[in-house]
Amino acid sequence: MKKIIFTLLVIIAVQTSNAQSSQLTEDQFREKVSTEFQTSYNKALTSFENSMDYGMTKKNESWSVYEFDNKRIFKIESKKNNTTFIETYFEVDGQLRYAQEKEISFINTPDTIEWNCKYFLENGAIKTIMSLGHGKTERDDWDSNEILTLYQKRKALLK
């Protein structure tokens, strides 16, 4: 009986250890992609020769596109009523690596309600997300893969 209990405790300890290791791996992956994006974005902002500003579109969207090396960043900003929407996409070798959705609602100046969701991708699939604030990620019917559909639509508009 002691051997069975001991064996169960060892199994639980190993599974807990593996879960913590994979969590560290997820955190490390987020940090790696965030650093890669931020470094690229900073480079894009300082080298204007690789940028295109599409200005306002028919839908009152402001598009900024930065292309350099094997990377592309495009950012779309729009406003509806008292809310600003910002989408940011970061591609490496033509594959989406990072995306962010952000909503800023202006209630009473200077009061705002902010929500954002960061998507970290590997091989075209979402590996992990990080969401802050109150927004659509709290809805029961929210699907994180909606960003991939939106990305494909936005990417098609760039061509």
Please give the structure tokens belonging to residue 51: 């940028």
Residue 1 token pair: 């009986």
Distance CA 34, CA 20 (A): 21
Q: Please say whether the beta carbons of 53 and 64 come within 8 A.
A: yes
Query: CA 149: distance to chain centroid?
Result: 14
Report pTM: 0.78
Contact 114, 128 (CB under 8 A): no
Integer Cα distance of 97 and 123 in angstroms: 8
Q: pLDDT in tens for each of the 159 residues of the chain?
A: 666 665 655 566 555 544 544 555 888 999 999 999 999 999 888 876 656 666 656 678 889 899 888 999 999 999 998 899 999 999 999 999 999 999 998 887 778 888 999 999 999 999 999 998 777 777 777 788 999 999 999 999 887
Task: Report domain extents, the chain.
Answer: 32-158
